[in-house]
Structure 1
Amino acid sequence: MATERKHLLYFLTTDSHPSPFDINMAYDAGFHAVIPYGDVTEELAVLLVQDIIFSRGPKGAKFSALFIGGNDMEIAERVRHAAVKSMFPPFQVSMMIDPKGSYTTAVALVAKAEKALGGLQGKLVAIPGGTGPVGTVAATLCVKLGAEVIIGSRQLSGVERLAQQLSARTGGSVKGAAMATDEEKISHLRGADVILTTGKAGIQMISEAVLKALPPGKLVADVNAVPPTGIYDLSPHDDLKEIVPGIKGIGALAVGVLKYDVEIEMLETIRTSDKCVVLDENQALEIAQRRLSV
């Protein structure tokens, strides 16, 4: 009698404790079991992947999948590359990478802004507090969609280095700016078409004074649902609500609904695909754009 194959997801994270958020998402996407491994390095990833691909044989490969996550985006990317290099036909399994949800969150944020404006080509996007994973990925995606980007931080030297790296990586225009005070923020945000806030939870990046000093016609969007939200008077549920005259906002939960849908589809794809696929922020953006076009 044939043995029923179970769909198994191996969750390789750079963190000591795997994220319950991602584990819950994987079960909601239909995996029979999620097997988490913490503190994964690229060296450990090679050993784990070899055990995973060989243990179930070529016919069982499509019933196994990898999810690569964790708070350290750079290490997660090295784990991803090590995992890919460890596999070869017919011993290949599908995988996705979403370090601490930063890829799918950034994708949802950018895709919502793109949809609201009818495209980002030629737009100036400002990302105050954008030196973290979500801000960095959002900046990269905006450049890919034809925008110029300015990233703000309290520390000018660090954000200028980051901007140079992103400009070199994308071939686009990314600039760094000091945005420690309201005056500095107003100065740099006046000319922006879009303002995306990706700061830490519970930190207000755009105050009432900054928001009311900006000219109308701008779009603002935030990923922080923990009070206070990242933008003054922007509710997490707002979706293109006018929060001050002439300025519309998209709140964290409006972004989060799309983020959830994108991550679920990515997980379902690596669970059901008959061929090996590797999904990252680029495929996530395609999914988000398609969903918003319906």
Structure 2
Amino acid sequence: MTKKLLFQFDTDAAPSVFDVVVGYDGGADHITGYGNVTPENVGAYVDGTIYTRGGREKQSTAIFVGGGDMAAGERVFEAVQKRFFGPFRVSVMLDSNGSNTTAAAGVALAVKAAGGSVKGKKAVVLAGTGPVGMRSAALLAGEGAEVTICGRKLDKAQAAADAINQRFKVNVKAAETPDDASRAAIIKGQNLVFAAGAIGLELVPAAAWQNEASIEIVADYNAQPPLGIGGIEATDKAKDYNGKLALGALGIGGLKLKLHRACIAKLFESSEGVFDAENIYALAKEMA
């Protein structure tokens, strides 16, 4: 029986242990990780995956691009695909910093909680300039929501919005929210509030969102106290707080892990799979 080989190309110095564990749980028989992978050096690694097996055996080789930097991962992901030609290709997945699977899970669960559609809803992503926040903003906008992405400095938030709009052909807006007062102000009139901030920072206290009539759903990606959104629990999965539904990081994380494993399994179903935000999100919606 042909072994399922997963090659992990990581833009960080050392391949992610988390991604290795989930890779095995997703069905890989053997994982080989490479660190400090760049667009300039990835070609030789790709060649080793595409020239060694033929026919149906080729689908038992796959590539996973990871690391802590989504922008760097995107460049490697693009370079990998440029190396493919004709039948000389294998399936490949991008999930730098876990951002594709995490954001896909969070948005899919929010859309489900909203009754299957967020079209026309107003959504804000607080501390959204990191990979998970940017992917969440993109996916929400793709669902037809009116999205604002926030950061402590307007230039950084605008750069994130510009990158999202160029990559996903949507119209995400930017806002500067450097403090509690500005964050409390920006969520007024919003229907969905996502928090994608760093560990240890409460972005919105309970009173700010629980007393805002327009808010329907809040979602927080931080599992370590203090949570990004006050007044919820990390384990919340569409828990009702006086008519408002909350998604906590662990509530989202259950689907994220299942999704990550499912994507790994699908890598070995053909030699032509390409799993970036869009395909990963489509699968998340099926699984939510």
With structure 1 as the length reference, what TM-score do the two structures score? Answer: 0.92
CA distance in 1: counterparts of 2:2 and 2:169, whole angstroms: 45
Number of the residue aligned with 1:220: 218
Number of the residue aligned with 1:65: 62
1:287, distance to aligned residue in structure 2 (A): 0.9
- Code of the aligned partner of 1:179: T
CA offsets, 1:7-53, max 9 Å, x none? Answer: 11000010111111110011111211100000100111111111222
Does structure 2 conserve the Cα–Cα contact (< 8 Å) formed by 1:148 and 1:172? no
Determine which of 271, 276, 284 is the counterpart of 1:288.
284
Number of the residue aligned with 1:125: 123
Deviates more, 1:222-231 or 1:245-254: 245-254
- Code of the aligned partner of 1:269: K
Q: Which runs of 5+ in 2 are unaligned?
A: none
1:68, distance to aligned residue in structure 2 (A): 0.5
CA distance in 2: counterparts of 1:275 and 1:51, whole angstroms: 14
Does structure 2 conserve the Cα–Cα contact (< 8 Å) formed by 1:95 and 1:279? yes
CA distance in 1: counterparts of 2:92 and 2:168, whole angstroms: 24
Number of the residue aligned with 1:274: 270
CA root-mean-square deviation: 1.7
Q: Secondary structure at the match of 1:130?
A: coil
Q: Secondary structure at the match of 2:46?
A: helix
Q: Does 1:265 align with 2:278?
A: no
Does structure 2 conserve the Cα–Cα contact (< 8 Å) formed by 1:217 and 1:246? no
Relative to 1, partners in 2 of residues 1:285 and 1:174: Cα closer, same or farther, differing over 3 Å? same
Determine which of 168, 172, 178 is the counterpart of 2:170.
172
CA distance in 2: counterparts of 1:18 and 1:137, whole angstroms: 22
Does structure 2 conserve the Cα–Cα contact (< 8 Å) formed by 1:9 and 1:64? yes
Q: Secondary structure at the match of 1:43?
A: coil
Aligned pairs for 1:72-221 within 5 A: 72-118=69-115, 119-215=117-213, 217-221=215-219
Relative to 1, partners in 2 of residues 1:247 and 1:174: Cα closer, same or farther, differing over 3 Å? same
1:60, distance to aligned residue in structure 2 (A): 3.5
CA distance in 2: counterparts of 1:86 and 1:181, whole angstroms: 46
Q: How many residues align?
A: 287
Relative to 1, partners in 2 of residues 1:258 and 1:227: Cα closer, same or farther, differing over 3 Å? same
Number of the residue aligned with 1:12: 9
Does structure 1 conserve the Cα–Cα contact (< 8 Å) formed by 2:58 and 2:271? no
Relative to 1, partners in 2 of residues 1:220 and 1:47: Cα closer, same or farther, differing over 3 Å? same
- Code of the aligned partner of 1:105: T
Does structure 1 conserve the Cα–Cα contact (< 8 Å) formed by 2:191 and 2:214? no
CA distance in 1: counterparts of 2:143 and 2:210, whole angstroms: 28
Does structure 2 conserve the Cα–Cα contact (< 8 Å) formed by 1:131 and 1:159? yes
CA offsets, 1:232-282, max 9 Å, x none? Answer: 121111122234x343211111101111111111100112x1342111111
Deviates more, 1:188-197 or 1:168-177: 168-177
Q: Secondary structure at the match of 1:62?
A: helix
With structure 2 as the length reference, what TM-score do the two structures score? Answer: 0.94
Identity %: 34
Relative to 1, partners in 2 of residues 1:76 and 1:117: Cα closer, same or farther, differing over 3 Å? same
